Amino acid sequence: MLSERGVYGYSAVLMGSPILLKLFEHNEALVSRVFRLIKKYEDLLTVNRAQSEVMAINHAAGRAAVAVSAPVFALIKCALAASLVKDSCFNLAIGPLVKRWRIGFCGASVPSVEEIAALLPRTRPELVQLDQSAETVFLTQPGMEIDLGAIAKGFIADRVRDYLKSQGVTQGLINLGGNVQTLGSPPGGWSVGLKKPFSTVDSLVGTLLVENKSVVTSGVYERYFEQDGRCYHHILDPRNGYPLDNELDSVTIISTDSLDGDIWSTLIYGMGVEKGCAALRHQPGIEAIFVTKQREVICSSGHQFRFTLLDSDYRLVTDNIA
Ligand code: AMP
Ligand code: MG
């Protein structure tokens, strides 16, 4: 536990990521309940172990529908809806490709064209069947796998915020490996850093000031590997099975719910700047900061956050979103 100007910071490693909880009171019992809550949801949602509710669905692919708990069903329903949006780059059934690429895990390698072609038909979200009344999930083809890696942290960050609220906490911040959710505000707001892509020393492009908001980033520098001089990152294009290729290094979403931020960060990363800006014009509660490979930082209108550019290698552009 670290204390700095009345803010207490508690850290742990969960979900394979460093977790940081900030509170304005020193309350070890509350902190351990929060960490237990995170672990409970990790145990339900993980696909990096043999057993979890999501793995039970995957193990039964092509054979049987599996009943899951209410929160897991609700999350899968939400992920399926995002996957079925026309031209969506978000796909909850991307599992077979994620498992084969192993990006971010040891043994990552570029699959052959034949391997990708064989896996793609098993990743169609239309082949996921939900039964609302029985709360069951059925992957209708053998070899299908759900992967909730793009939204699990957002979902869990919201559960932590709700739990803190229920315990009477009015100010707090949870950082789940870069996926930030905030409750209330210290004087001046919560300051959240925007990482400089591929920086080896954790430098920041800038900082955002937010209150009662989530800040979620999808970035190509978060998990990647290099082979034959090429860089392969962890956000895969469901249309062709390869890492999404566009002008962006990262997209950061500022929203009330971290689940929305997590879905939109992956979706908007897939859209790129132009289409992403157009999509956000219809989403008043969702704002974005794009960081391009050309070192431009493109901010949306900024009603929910204040952004300060810190790195002079980058150029701030604010007018692209009406
Ligand atoms: P995020 O960092 O939130 O954008 O999520 C990236 C993670 O989501 C990856 O590590 C995979 O587990 C998973 N993933 C990769 N590509 C996709 C995709 N197109 N749609 C949904 N999840 C994906
Ligand atoms: Mg995401």
pLDDT tens profile 293-312: 999 999 886 677 889 999 99
Domain ranges across the chain: 2-34+151-317, 53-139
Residue 3 has pLDDT above 70, yes or no: no
Greater model confidence, 200 or 174: 174
pLDDT > 90 in the chain, percent = 75
Q: How many Å lie between the centroid of ligand 2 and the Cα of residue 236?
A: 12
Quick one: pLDDT band at residue 222, thresholds 50, 70, 90? confident
Nearest CA to ligand 1 atom 22: 150
| C-beta of 122 in contact with ligand 1 (< 6 A) | no
In sequence order, what are the residues at sequence separation of 6 or more whose Cβ sits closer than 8 angstroms to the Cβ of residue 138? 60, 64, 65, 66, 128, 129, 130, 131
Q: How many Å lie between the centroid of ligand 1 and the Cα of residue 131?
A: 25
Which ligand has its closest atom nearest to the C-alpha of 265? Answer: 2
Quick: pLDDT tens for 13-48: 998 889 999 999 999 999 999 999 999 999 999 998
pLDDT for 322 equals 46
Atom of ligand 1 nearest to the CA of 91: 20
Quick: pLDDT tens for 190-208: 999 999 988 888 899 999 9
Token output for 236: 């895969």
Environment class of 317 (CB within 10 Å of its CB; exposed 0-12, middle 13-18, buried 19+): middle
Greater model confidence, 120 or 185: 120
Q: Which amino acid is at 108?
A: A
Which ligand has its closest atom nearest to the C-alpha of 46? Answer: 1
| C-beta of 153 in contact with ligand 1 (< 6 A) | no
| C-beta of 233 in contact with ligand 1 (< 6 A) | no
Instruction: Name the residue of 235, 253, 260 whose CB sits within 8 Å of the most ligand 1 atoms, as the mutation to test its pocket.
Output: 235
Nearest CA to ligand 1 atom 2: 218
pLDDT for 27 equals 94
pLDDT for 120 equals 97
Atom of ligand 1 nearest to the CA of 216: 3
| C-beta of 264 in contact with ligand 1 (< 6 A) | no
Q: What gap in Å lies between CA 71 and CA 90, rounded to an integer? A: 20
CA angle, residues 217, 293, 229, in degrees to nearest 5: 105
Atom of ligand 1 nearest to the CA of 89: 19
Place of tokens 């979403």: 253
pLDDT for 302 equals 63
Pick the CATH number of 53-139 from 3.40.640.10, 3.30.70.150, 1.10.3980.10, 3.40.50.450: 1.10.3980.10
pLDDT for 111 equals 92
CATH class, 2-34+151-317 region: alpha beta
Nearest CA to ligand 1 atom 3: 150
Contact status, residue 208 vs residue 191, Cβ threshold 8 Å:
yes
Quick one: pLDDT band at residue 229, thresholds 50, 70, 90? confident
Atom of ligand 1 nearest to the CA of 153: 3
pLDDT > 70 in the chain, percent = 97
Quick: pLDDT tens for 254-289: 999 999 999 999 999 999 998 998 888 888 899 999
Residue 138 has pLDDT above 70, yes or no: yes
Bridge partner list, 136: 67, 131
Summary mean pLDDT of the chain: 92
Lowest mean pLDDT among 113-127, 150-164, 165-179, 216-230: 216-230
Token output for 135: 């709360």
Atom of ligand 1 nearest to the CA of 147: 12
